[in-house]
Amino acid sequence: MLMGAFFSRRFNPDTDIPDLSGKVILVTGGNAGIGFAVIEQLVRHGAKVYMGARNPERARAAIERLRTSVGSDNGQVVWLDLDLSDPRKVQKAAEEVMQREERLDVLINNAALLLVPYAKDYDNVQNIVMTNYMGAYLLTRLLLPLLKRTAQEPNSDVRIVFVNSARHHSCPSDVRFRTLDDLNRDFEDTMFPQLLRYAMTKTMQLLFAKDLQRRLDAAALPRAILCLAVDPGEVNTEGVHAYTESVGPVLGPLYRAIAHLTFAAPATGALGPLFCAVSPVPRAEPLVYRGAYLDPPRSSGRAARWRRAGSSRGSCGIRRSASWGDRDRAASGVVLGRLGCGWCIPYGSV
Ligand SMILES: NC(=O)c1ccc[n+]([C@@H]2O[C@H](COP(=O)([O-])OP(=O)(O)OC[C@H]3O[C@@H](n4cnc5c(N)ncnc54)[C@H](OP(=O)(O)O)[C@@H]3O)[C@@H](O)[C@H]2O)c1
């Protein structure tokens, strides 16, 4: 079995991202944090990028900032009205992309709620599950026909990237995805309910990434679609700031100072997602990178090393368990089936 160190790769976006002219890429949650930094590089290298964002003002302001930093001679950024917490809006956003574009080269599922209070807005499913897992799942499934069509093109390089988190390792082993109650579990009987809710959603996303790769491989497309998941590392973003503000006047400033001093800047946090999305390396070595979960480098910096997670934690970096695949299927099937909103897609139809 190959060890993680064999998968180490140096990656510098200035020199290692090829010309992306003609490519169409969708980044969810691109108006802030890591997603914004990812889009900045993609546009700088010539791509047409859809910024999936739910708030028009924040999207407009982010696009202004991008135009200033990247200039107008490079790629293009377009706002896509996308709210992952409401499946109806996800469906609308996917339809808009399908209508407007002949191709979609890369989908980067980046948007997420981090450590947030428990809340439910739509369809009786807690928001963090809707946003981090169900919304991304639905968006990916709805865009698959376009992604698959693009994969028929000569020299295509279609990828689906999931920005995940090492926090998925904190997911308790007794989680179940069989019923709505399982998905709405609040973990309020534990010391870290916010962390565990987040960890549960990131585990669900990883399971989906791995299973989707398996299904796409079985579909035997002329040119394989690569699914990759990546932990960007600890990054000092607005989502982190929001958490520090939520913990009160004593701990808040302390956490915020720690984040400022020890967490990476968003541009560094973007390296892993960019490597997965557009570095030529994963395409050159598909057997290594297909369905992989990448760990962040041990040291920070632009020439950091991105490596596949070690084999001891399973090929996707999650603890091995015979029942994980079934749990994932249950998660999608139960919830999408029960909501009955007309947008339900059976899980088994990739
Ligand atoms: N920061 C870290 O230390 C860290 C560590 C490990 C993994 N990650 C992962 O990295 C990714 C990006 O995190 P970040 O730190 O950059 O977070 P962030 O600063 O909070 O940005 C999150 C983005 O997601 C968007 N978003 C949230 N809910 C949404 C919804 N319902 N529909 C559409 N967009 C929505 C936000 O939009 P609004 O501006 O409208 O809220 C924002 O653009 C996440 O997947 C996160 O789990 C981050």
- For ligand 1, whether the C-beta of 87 sits within 6 Å is no
SS3 96: helix
For residue 82, give both structure tokens. Answer: 């996308």
Rounded to whole angstroms, how far apart are CA atoms 187 and 189?
5
Asked if 130 and 122 touch (Cβ cutoff 8 Å), the reply is yes
For residue 296, give Cα distances in angstroms to 77, 166, 187, 237.
27, 9, 28, 17
- For ligand 1, whether the C-beta of 204 sits within 6 Å is no
Q: H/E element holding 66?
A: helix 56-70
- For ligand 1, whether the C-beta of 268 sits within 6 Å is no
pLDDT, tens digit only, all 350 positions of the chain: 223 333 345 689 999 999 999 999 999 999 999 999 999 999 999 999 999 999 999 999 999 999 999 987 889 999 999 999 999 999 999 999 999 999 999 999 999 999 999 999 988 889 999 999 999 999 999 999 999 999 999 889 999 999 999 999 899 888 887 778 888 999 999 999 999 999 999 998 988 898 899 889 998 888 899 999 999 999 999 988 888 878 778 788 888 888 889 899 999 999 999 999 999 999 999 888 999 999 876 654 443 455 565 433 333 333 333 344 445 444 544 444 444 443 444 444 44
For 162, the domain range is 4-349
CA angle (212 as vertex; 207, 218 as ends), nearest 5? 135
Asked if 106 and 277 touch (Cβ cutoff 8 Å), the reply is yes
CA of 212 to the centre of ligand 1 (A): 22
Rounded to whole angstroms, how far apart are CA atoms 187 and 190?
6
What 8-state DSSP symbol labels residue 310? P
The residues facing 226 across adjacent strands are 159
For residue 223, give both structure tokens. Answer: 């040119």
Rounded to whole angstroms, how far apart are CA atoms 91 and 6?
40
Q: What pLDDT is attached to residue 305?
A: 52
- For ligand 1, whether the C-beta of 165 sits within 6 Å is yes
Phi/psi of residue 28, each to 5°? Answer: -80, 145
Q: What pLDDT is attached to residue 301?
A: 47
CA of 238 to the centre of ligand 1 (A): 8
For CA atoms 191, 193, 198, 202, the dihedral sign is positive
Residue of minimum CA distance from atom 2 in ligand 1: 235
**What are the DSSP calls for 265-288, one per residue?**
PHHHHTHHHHHHHH-HHHHH-HHH
Q: For the stretch 15-45, what's the b/e string if a residue is b when 16 or more beta carbons lie within 10 angstroms of its beta carbon?
A: ebbeebeebbbbbbbbbbbbbbbbbbbbbbb
Supply the pTM of this predicted model.
Answer: 0.89
193-218 and 324-339 are packed helices; what angle lies between their axes, rounded to 10 degrees? Answer: 100
For residue 97, give both structure tokens. Answer: 């992309």
SS3 229: strand
Q: What is the CATH number of the domain that holds 319?
A: 3.40.50.720
Q: How many domains does the chain have?
A: 1
